[in-house]
Homo-oligomer: A and B are copies of this chain.
């Protein structure tokens, strides 16, 4: 019994990690206390997906439920997708055919099974029960809620107050989503914070149908690489899960230290205790770059496997090394002229280029840096007393002092 309670506390901690809201914990504890695998529902669009890390926040949470022994219902909302936009106003949302839905589902699952456990995942399509639903059933479903209640939903109330049209069928879609929970007998439903209203529909309709209401768990939107906007393809601040290992690795190494902790909370599968230990170490002076490095490896491994992750890591180290100014740099002292030495002459005299014409060519090509800054002005001169680090290409360095 003590063990069981401990285990429920542990489960609650894992479930709550990174989440926005859990409704309601006492109910979830009761469900967990039964010891049976819970039915965890999450709904997805039937459109062809190209997932980025932002999308995986929710899928990671499903994976965590699986690790706790629960059963995932990966619901593809093809019923409404096959209706399309019946108002015909949204030309970009034509109805999907059954074949397109099936093809998209394959694309989807190919990606999510890099995260989810196939054995504990049931892919379900709501057309299975919704196609059999009659107009009478739909009317009865619509009778379960009021117009006022529906207009409480944020986007509806804004549009209504702003005199923007809401077609009546838009009131039916949240009911369909809620009814899916009834059909699936879901114990828990996951969604983004923007989905809370629809998730609550599921609770209410389940009660209406004599079922125990599902618990709802909302997950936050993930910030993009800029740390400000939500991750999105159109903003260019994303990490696609199908990107090349080196790309993913490099992008993740580029994030701020602050964002790094956020990503660890929502994207890493490291247990919380380990992450806490890392935080302590960084606070005591260790380099956050090392945390990022391990995290980047974890993510690349998730989507491309262990070998790819190791390769990406060593590639990154190699590039990083090449980009750094070496510790043991050649010191070159030159004797200056009254009006200074032209930069091309300096480069040749310091032995960084074989000739001044080579020096001019490198300048023109953008291959020359002074104190880490690219220079291209061939009229630049170094006066007496100047002391700079010059670099040609990736590997040739010299500290030049003009006396």
Binding site for B on A (CB under 8 A): 79-80, 82-83, 85-87, 130-131, 133-140, 142-148, 150-151, 156, 160, 163, 165-172, 175
Chain B proximity of A245: nearest CB distance (Å): 44
* 6 other A-B residue contacts (CB within 8 Å) besides A145-B167, A146-B168, A168-B171: A135-B137, A135-B138, A142-B168, A142-B172, A148-B166, A168-B175
How far is B163's CA from A139's CA once the two chains are assembled, in angstroms? 22
Q: Which residue of B lies closest to A87 (CB)?
A: B143
State whether A171 touches B169 (Cβ < 8 A).
no
- Contacting pair A169 B143 (CB below 8 A): yes
Nearest chain B CB to A183 CB, angstrom units? 13
Contact between B86 and A172, CB atoms less than 8 A apart: no
Instruction: Report the bound CA distance from A165 to B133 in whole Å.
Output: 26
User: A168: which of B133, B145, B167 is its contact (CB, 8 Å)?
Assistant: B145
Which 7 A-B residue pairings sit nearest by Cβ, starting from the closest?
A86-B143, A142-B169, A133-B135, A142-B168, A143-B169, A135-B138, A146-B165
Known A146-B166, A163-B148, A165-B146; contact A172-B83, beta-carbon cutoff 8 A? no
Contact A169 B147 (CB under 8 A): no
- State the number of copies, please: 2
Choice from B130, B146, B148, B171 contacting A135 with Cβ under 8 Å = B130
Report the Cα distance A142→B156, complex, angstroms: 16
A130 to B136, CA, bound (A): 8
List B contacts of A151 (CB < 8 A): 147
User: CA–CA, A34 to B168, complex, Å?
Assistant: 37
Q: Can you report 24 A-B residue pairs in the complex whose CB atoms are below 8 A from each other?
A: A80-B139, A83-B136, A85-B143, A86-B139, A133-B135, A134-B135, A138-B138, A138-B139, A138-B172, A139-B169, A142-B169, A142-B172, A143-B169, A146-B165, A146-B166, A146-B168, A147-B151, A147-B156, A147-B160, A147-B167, A148-B160, A148-B163, A148-B165, A168-B172
A245 to B136 alpha-carbon distance, docked (Å): 44
Partner of A166 from B136, B138, B147, B160 at Cβ < 8 Å: B147
Contacts of A147 in B (CB 8 A): 147, 151, 156, 160, 165-168, 170-171
A3 to chain B, nearest CB (A): 45
List the B side residues contacting A145 at CB < 8 Å: 167-168
Return chain B residues, CB-CB under 8 Å to A79.
136
Answer whether A83 and B140 are a contact pair too, CB < 8 Å, given A130-B135, A160-B148, A163-B148.
yes
On whether A143 and B167 interact (CB within 8 A), knowing A133-B135, A138-B135, the answer reads yes
